[in-house]
Amino acid sequence: GNSVTQMEGPVTLSEEAFLTINCTYTATGYPSLFWYVQYPGEGLQLLLKATKADDKGSNKGFEATYRKETTSFHLEKGSVQVSDSAVYFCALGGGGNKLTFGTGTQLKVEL
Amino acid sequence: GAVVSQHPSWVICKSGTSVKIECRSLDFQATTMFWYRQFPKQSLMLMATSNEGSKATYEQGVEKDKFLINHASLTLSTLTVTSAHPEDSSFYICSARGFGGADTQYFGPGTRLTVL
């Protein structure tokens, strides 16, 4: 079946540092891939997505590239801000519009 | 953007009682709603999928008689945890999908259930 593995947190960075959160997946076929973000006290929000191999999703300075050869969808940002502190979930879309999530990675950005 | 609310945000109940959690899409019609359960430091586990006006489809291993789901309108779905036990304590999250693919799922803020 489908599964998503992402790096454990928490990840603690200083403001303006470079961010990478690793995500790899196992799936049949070519699923769509997503990154969701959950700010404290709020619901999950779609951050970015990619629907086919070599697609790059981007939003709010975050980027992730769909790598079929390595079955990965790593999240990156060149310069994080304190306001980026949140929990980030990698997910893949399966049949019936169902989403399979990773365990989430908490990011803490300090001044 | 589209907003999904859940009520209550947290609830504490005694073992053996039933608890109802509401999920509402506030500014769009949800053709499908999903219910997830999240344990600490674990991923969201899909419990069931419900379409308005029809019976919910439960994932393998989820007891449908224990977790009753009703999706009576295009803006409201409810999850009732019947005869709750301490092992049912968890964070329950709903999402609602409008017209479109998986990327149009909008998530509620979640409900923390604690069963004493």
Model pLDDT for residues A6-48, shown as the tens digit of each residue: 988 899 999 999 999 999 999 988 899 999 999 987 888 999 9
Structural contact between residues A46 and A32, judged by C-beta atoms closer than 8 angstroms: no
- Helix, strand and coil content of chain B, in percent to the nearest 5, comes to 5, 55, 40
Q: Which residues of B touch A101 (CB under 8 A)?
A: 43-44
Contacts with B, A 53-92, CB within 8 Å: 89
Half-sphere exposure of residue A47, counting CA atoms within 13 Å on the CB side?
27
Model pLDDT for residues B2-58, shown as the tens digit of each residue: 889 999 999 999 999 999 999 999 988 888 999 999 887 778 899 999 988 888 999
Torsion, Cα B46 B51 B56 B58, to 10 degrees, reads -30
At B100, the pLDDT band (50, 70, 90 cuts) reads low
Q: Please tell me whether the peptide bond between A31 and the residue prior to it is cis, using omega within 30 degrees of 0.
A: no
Structural contact between residues A23 and A4, judged by C-beta atoms closer than 8 angstroms: yes
Structural contact between residues A50 and A58, judged by C-beta atoms closer than 8 angstroms: no
Percentage of chain B surpassing pLDDT 70? 95
Of the two residues B97 and B22, the one the predictor is more confident about is B22
Q: What is the pLDDT of residue B103?
A: 64
Q: Do B103 and A46 touch (CB under 8 A)?
A: yes
- A37 interfacial to chain B (CB closer than 8 Å): no
- Smallest CA–CA separation between A50 and chain B, in Å? 10
Q: What is the pLDDT of residue B101?
A: 61
Asked if residue A85 has pLDDT above 70, the reply is yes
